[in-house]
Amino acid sequence: MSNPFEALRPALEVIAQEAKVLPATGQALEDLMRPDHEEVIDRLRSGDDALDVIIEKPNRQPYVLLKPLYRHERHLLRYFLDGSARTFFLGDAVEGTRRTPINVAQVGAAVVFREDDGQVHVAVSRHRIYLMMDKQAVSFGDRVEEIIKKAGPRFGFHDLMQQDGETEVTSPGKEPRSRAAHKAHHLMAQIEDELGRKELKRDNGHWLVLDGSLSKDLYAWTEVPQFLGIAKSFSREPQFKLPGARGGRSVNLYELLADLPFSSRTCLFSARSGKAAVWYVRLREQKHLDFPLMGVIKVELPNPSADAVPSELADEISAALVAERQATPHGRDTRWHAHLYAIYLAEQAVKNGFVSMEALKAGLRWPTGSGAADAREARL
């Protein structure tokens, strides 16, 4: 089997020649994100809009009971898009008094399509491998980037300190390594955008379900027919004003979801100045879960016109989502209680395309350096 990381070797050679490399212990170390990235991203993307404007009609009740809509009755949700990213710290490159971490990220996304008989297959997918470093911290950053650009479409270079509007909030600070995993997820979102907007060919009558909160870029998918976003982890900060007598009542997220019955949705709230409708759906009964926010998903529906969304449409979408809960990756994912099974399958399709940790360690070894680098060969 050929080395899947062979195209990165010329770039690693330049780094080893120009700098002293301090390899990661154990060849490579996976960098994880803290705190929960999805929750932070949802808080960032939700903005400062107060969720106190009901943006549906004719319903004015805070909670709506649903009858699950299964695919044999109406197969509403057909396409499911998800992405995944894994980031590995390879070591530090030290040039005099300057230093940059060297990271490699495997990033990908996939769309799965479900047939009428329930069979699911991959409609389109894409995987990329990124070499990441603080390009401005060393003198040879531009050379490394140029080498990676010539490695082919599957490979990419990314500057850890390049601003993107999200990493600065999700991973603030000046330490480049702490930004690597967050950068990888931002690159993952770009691939999701490519697949959903450009690569996926589908019928107008079939809905596309995206995993995660919708960014401002996704709301601009004017050329893409029916789609919505589903967040399994979401911001705990929003305040809501529920309809009712004497001007209604204000509640926080915990109060809103604590009273949300099983197989029910909340009313629709306005977000992004009416350009999106946001609501919550309870997929699982609370008696089997640890706290009120478990078993609940957040739904985001683009609403370019900013007009009130028909309650019938919200009911239909929510009922179809409740039906999606019946198969679940219990024990295989900590978010099992809020997973849609087809989304889980899309995520697995992405991860199955990643190179294994064993192959990564075997395929990525620091080459023998010269000049300022150590004369001995060091394994990552």
Predicted local confidence at residue 372, as pLDDT: 40
Q: Is the pLDDT of residue 374 over 50?
A: no
pLDDT at 249 over 70: yes
- Selection from 167-181, 187-201, 325-339, 364-378 with the highest mean pLDDT: 187-201
Q: Which tens digits make up the pLDDT trace of 61-102?
A: 999 999 999 999 999 999 999 999 999 999 999 999 999 999
Would residue 370 count as lying in a domain?
A: no
Cα(104)–Cα(157) distance, integer angstroms: 9
Position 140 scores a pLDDT of 95
Q: Phi/psi class of residue 282: alpha, beta or left (left: φ > 0; alpha: ψ in -120 to 50)?
A: beta
* Residue 174 predicted with pLDDT over 70: no
Give the three-class secondary structure for 227.
Answer: strand
Is residue 375 included in any domain, yes or no?
A: no
Q: Taking a C-beta distance cutoff of 8 angstroms, is the pair 322, 68 a contact?
A: yes
At residue 307, φ and ψ (nearest 5 deg) are -80, 165
Please give the average per-residue pLDDT across 368-380, as a whole number: 42
Higher local confidence (pLDDT), 47 or 11 = 11
Q: Where are the beta strands (DSSP E) in 4-117?
A: 20-23, 29-31, 56-57, 63-65, 77-95, 98-114
Q: Give backbone dihedrals phi and psi of 298, rounded to 5 degrees, phi first.
A: -100, 130
Average pLDDT over all residues of the chain? 84
Confidence label for 218 from pLDDT (cuts 50, 70 and 90): low
pLDDT at 239 over 90: no
Asked if the structure places residue 377 within a domain, the reply is no
Share of the chain above pLDDT 90, in %: 50
Q: What is the pLDDT of residues 114-151, one digit of tens each?
A: 999 999 999 999 999 999 999 999 999 999 999 999 99
Q: Look at residue 234 in the predicted model and tell me its pLDDT.
A: 86
Q: What is the rounded CA–CA span in Å between residue 133 and residue 144? A: 9
pLDDT at 362 over 60: yes
Domain tally, the chain: 1
Span 305-354, pLDDT tens digits: 889 999 999 999 999 999 998 777 777 777 778 889 899 999 999 999 99
Q: What is the reported pLDDT for 64?
A: 96
Name the pLDDT band for 208 (thresholds 50, 70, 90). very high
Burial (CB < 10 A; 0-12, 13-18, 19+), residue 129, is buried
In a domain, 372, yes or no: no
What confidence score (pLDDT) does residue 377 get?
A: 43
Domain annotation covers residue 369: no
Q: What is the mean pLDDT of residues 34-39?
A: 57
Query: What is the spatial distance between Cα 50 and Cα 47, in angstroms, rounded to a whole number?
Result: 9
Mean pLDDT of all residues in 255-270: 93
The per-residue pLDDT for 366 is 81
Q: How far is CA 63 from the centre of its chain?
A: 28
Model confidence at 53, pLDDT cuts 50, 70, 90, reads confident
In a domain, 269, yes or no: yes
C-alpha span between 347 and 351 (Å, rounded): 6
**Beta strand ranges found along the chain (DSSP E):** 20-23, 29-31, 56-57, 63-65, 77-95, 98-114, 120-133, 155-159, 207-211, 227-231, 239-242, 249-252, 264-266, 269-271, 276-282, 296-302, 309-310
Let me know if residue 380 belongs to a domain: no
Decide which of 48 and 237 is more confident.
Answer: 237
* pTM of the predicted structure, to 2 decimals: 0.86
How far is it between the farthest Cα atoms of the chain? 78
Predicted confidence (pLDDT) at residue 378 exceeds the cutoff of 60: no
Residue 118 lies in a domain: yes
Instruction: Give the range of the structural domain holding residue 289, as residue numbers without chain letter.
Output: 6-363
Mean pLDDT comparison of 131-135, 211-215, 219-223, highest-scoring range: 131-135
Kindly state the average pLDDT of the residues 164-170: 70
pLDDT at 51: 65
Residue 48 pLDDT exceeds 50: no
Q: Cα-Cα-Cα-Cα dihedral of 306, 311, 314, 319, to 10°?
A: 180
Res. 111 pLDDT band, cuts 50 70 90: very high
